[in-house]
Structure formats: structure tokens, C-alpha cells
Structure 1
């Protein structure tokens, strides 16, 4: 194996001799192996990332593919190895889960290279590293790649389950506050954003199964299982989008119904007080000749008349079942 310069900043860490009788973990150190395989995890957007990959003996076309700024999930067979672009849930602090982290994998005969961008740590990779440190050792770079894919799928599953639980809570409870409407819109956007990457990721895993001729039966079964999981998550996200749309429609209808009911009640109250306002307007005019101005009980008669009119109008509305 080529030596790696410990001064290279792109090399985050290296695990050497994985699968050998003795497994060692070294930080940015020179190493040579006789058995097993190596896993290098690098940061692809540093100034020395290409130099770091060249020191590992990779051809320029693969280096350019690993260091490309923008990626979309896919799998490409290049010579004896395979380049895989994946996306994982973003669990970094103050990050949105739908802002998915790009992970690039180069799977060779005795080497696995994983690459990520600056400040875009993927916890699924850290989970696999911790398992290796606990001597849960895969037998080949492809098995290690499948383990990373499984961990990515596990994290995606957690996020999809959270979205499903939030939607179930909305369906069970009568929520119409502004913050609830904002949260529902956010769930819908998250489902759409995550699905945007999971659909091509499903196709990438399917391409890995079709293109990689070195898969044994167990590897093929595990890869098909992860492909099926991605398919299920895509379907769950599609369903979540539909549920969110239905809930938004129901919420808008509920709000419109509440506003319509308030306007209806206000109209009925206005209908009752309109003739009363007419009477008070007539008898409130400050002109000569108004009846009852000299009668001491005129106010009592007028007030009684207004009450009777209001009661008659109310009875009429109840009889028409307007209330």
C-alpha cells in the first residue's frame, strides 16, 4: 500500500489491516499491510485532498469523481472498483435533517475510501468506526461498504419514523394554531426534500447489485434488503407528503368553517339589531313633532316594543333553524 503523508489535512483518519489477524487504528500515520484491507476517511474539499488521494494510488478520473463539489446518489463501475455516491441524514448541530450529507465511497479490491465535505460529518460513518474499534470486523471492503449503507438506512429510518409520529399526532389532535400550521408545512417540506435523494439512492443500490459481479450470496441478499428498505422509505415519504397535504386541506377547511360560522353568527346578530337600530334612530332624532315627547311612559313603551321585536325575530330564526 502507498504511504500517506501524516501532514495531509484531508486524511481525517485511517484504519489499516482491517480483517487481518491484528487490527490497528492509526491517525494520519504511515502504514503497510500484508493481509486484510484498509479504510481511509478523508475530507474531499481541502486544498490537499487530491494529493492525499494520489498518495493512495488512485487514478485521476476517480480522484476527480470523489472531489466533485456536487453529487447525486448513484453507483458507477470504474475498472476493478466501484464509485458510489450516497446521502445520509444530517444530524450535525443546528442542521436541518433534510439537508442531507453527501458521502462518496470508492470500493476497491483491498481498500475502501470514504469522503465527505467540510463540516458535514455523517454519524453513520462514526457508528461503523466505533463497531470496528469493538472488533466487529467485516471480511472485505464491500462488506464494510454494506455496513455503512445499513447504518445510513438506520438513521433514515429514525427520521422517517419521527415524521410519521408527528403526522399521527396531527391526525389524532385538533390543532389549528399558527405554530401547528407552520410545523405541518415544515414536515411536508422535509418529506419532499429527503425523498428527493432517497429515490436515486434506491436506484444506486440497485445498480450496485446489477453491476458488481463479485457479490456473494450473502452480500447480494443484504444489498437487495437495503434496496428494499430504501424503496419502503421512499413510499413512506410519498405517503407522508400525501398525509401532510390532506391535513393541510383539512386544516384550511376547518379554519374557513370557523370563520364562516363566526360571520354567520355576526350576520344573525346584525339581523336582530337592525330593526332595533332603526327604531332608536327614528326616535333619537332631535326634531319637533316626535310622538311621545310629552308622554312620561313613552320610553317604557318604546323599550318594550324593541324587546318584543327582538324576541319575535329570534323565534322566527329558531323556527327557520338558522341557529
Structure 2
């Protein structure tokens, strides 16, 4: 079975064989399985000693952030964090499912969650001593990594807003749409994640100390702030998109007006040249040497007169 395990004894963490984790002794035993297939579910039940219900929750295909108390003082919590794996636009965050009780924590991921490496480094440095510390470290690592990503979305939207111009409509619309899709994707999970962390911080379990609850509450507050920022980004994106759409419509109206004015200028000229170009007898001055020059002068005078009329009426300005 792939994965890793740590045992914390007297404040010091040591890597241990994953198949020996259940029988290991210490203040904290952490088992992480980087898969959620049938093999992982069987290991969790047969060797991990977890019930079928808990094993199914840890390996479920579709999960949203949640927190539930389990019998015997255990807690199940699912969180979402950034991943380097390829994700769908509607599902940008990978899930990590955690079951914890006194002295032990089991975590499972289907996709790589970046926060796992940060927590693994912290436990190797001896900064995690019990299950409460481990879950609080996960919550902090996930929210700390998401915070600058949300800030970058806001900065990208600010930059797009400053560069609004008729000649950049298509480029800016693509950027704004991209930011809006990302904001919706992140916000979809941050709101329930805030609720899950808040619920965990208030659960009546002995292995959660006061400082753990404070860290969980701080992570929940940060998730709430990010969710509010993402909602603001989503609303601003909609307004900027509407502004760009109006700007594009105004640009099209101006071009259509210019085409209409040009057509109106040439309409009487086309009538004159068409009338004089008929192959019938009796066309005035048809055999005079100055006839062509005369027609050109008349047409030019008409074009200038019509153009002057439109300029005085400010039609070229829309």
C-alpha cells in the first residue's frame, strides 16, 4: 500500500512503516494514503481498524467540505486545497479527507494536495505533537496557500479595469471571464469549508486543546474573508464584462453610423452616374468635350455639400 506514516513520541516525529502504524505507540500516529481506490478502503478497514462507514467517507468519490462527529470521540473532516494536478474549471481544489480520534489521524487524498507537504515538513520539525495540532496545521496550510491566489485574482481584475479600452475589448473580456470562472470555482468550496472549520472548533472532543480551537477559528475567519473577496471579485467581473459589452456595442454603433453616412454621400452620386450611363438617345451634352469634366465637378460638389451638412450636424461624432 502506497503512502506514509509518522509516529510522534515525546515530541519527536519518526517515519514508520505504514503497515505497522496501527500497532505503533506514541502521542500521535499519522497515516496518509495518496489514493482513494478499493485498496485504500480495504486497508483502512482491515489494517486501520476503521468502520466501513468511516472508510467509505474517507474514500468517497465526490466530497464537499464538511465536518461530522463520529462515535467514540472521533471526527471526520473534509477540506479542499490547491493542487498541482490538472483539475476541471468547475472543481479547482482537491480534497483531503481526515478522520481523527485520540492519538491517531488518517488522511486520504485522490489528487495531490499541496498542503500535505507543508504539514509533513512541520511534523518532521517536531512542531506537531497531537491530532489537534495536525488538523490545525492542515487548515492553516491550506488557507495560507489560497490567500495569495485570491489576492492575485483581485489584482488581475484591477489591472483589467485600469486598461479598459475599445481596442482591447476581446482581450480584456477573455481575462475577466477567466478571473470570474476561477472566483466561482474557489468560492464554491470556501464557504462550506469555513463552516466545517467553525464546527470543528466547537466540537466537544477531549483531544482538541484551546490553542487548536483558536487556530481552527483563525483559519475559518481567513476562509470567510477569502469567500467574501471572491464574491466581490465575481460581482466586479460581471460589472466589468457589462462595461466591455457596452463599449463594444458603442464601437459597433459608431462604425455603423460611419458606414451609413458614407452610403448617404454616395447615394445621389450613384443615381446621377446611373442616370447618365443609360444607353438611350437624348442624353444632354453627350457629345460635348467638357461633359465628363462637368459630371465629375457636379458629383464632387454634391459630395462636398452633403459631407459638410453631416459635419455641421456632428454625425461623424455619433
**TM score, norm. by length of structure 1:** 0.89
2:58 alignment counterpart: 66
Q: Give the aligned partner of residue 154 of structure 2.
A: 164
How far off is 1:75 after superposition?
A: 0.4
Deviation at 1:267, TM superposition (A): 0.6
Contact 1:15 1:25 in 2 (8 A): yes
C-alpha distance 251-136 of structure 1, shift in aligned 2 (>3 A): farther
SS of corresponding position for 1:77 = strand
Alignment of 1:125-144 (within 5 A): 125-133=116-124, 135-144=125-134
Structure 1 Cα separation of the partners of residues 9 and 150 of structure 2: 34
RMSD across aligned positions (CA): 2.0
Establish whether residue 15 from structure 1 lines up as the match of residue 6 from structure 2.
Answer: yes
Secondary structure of 1:312's aligned partner? helix
Hey, what does 1:284 align to over in structure 2? 277
1:1-323 pair list within 5 angstroms: 9=1, 11-16=2-7, 18=8, 20-28=10-18, 30=20, 32-54=23-45, 55-79=47-71, 80-92=73-85, 98-117=91-110, 120-133=111-124, 135-174=125-164, 176-214=168-206, 215-323=208-316
Does the 8 Å contact 1:91/1:97 carry over to 2? no
Q: Distance in 2 between matches of 1:302 and 1:162?
A: 66
Cα offset for 1:219?
2.0
> 1:19 and 1:243, CA in 2 relative to 1: closer, same or farther beyond 3 A?
farther
Cα distance, 1:275 vs. partner? 1.0
Give 1:198 deviation, angstroms.
Answer: 1.1
Residues 90 and 96 in structure 1, CA contact (< 8 A), matched pair in contact too:
no
Do the aligned residues in 2 keep the contact of 1:107 with 1:113 (CA within 8 Å)? yes
Return the alpha-carbon distance in structure 1 between the equivalents of residues 97 and 270 of structure 2.
77
Change (3 A) 1:142 1:298: same
Question: Deviation at 1:136?
Answer: 4.0
Q: 1:86-140, CA deviations, whole angstroms, 9 ceiling, x for partnerless residues?
A: 11123225775943211101111101111112xx11111111112322x142221
- Provide the C-alpha distance between the structure 2 equivalents of 1:185 and 1:166, rounded to a whole number of angstroms: 11
Shift of 1:30: 2.6
Q: Is the 8 A contact 2:29 2:104 kept in 1?
A: yes
Q: Which runs of 5 or more residues in structure 2 are unaligned?
A: none
Deviation at 1:29, TM superposition (A): 5.2
- Give the unaligned 5+ runs of structure 1: 1-8
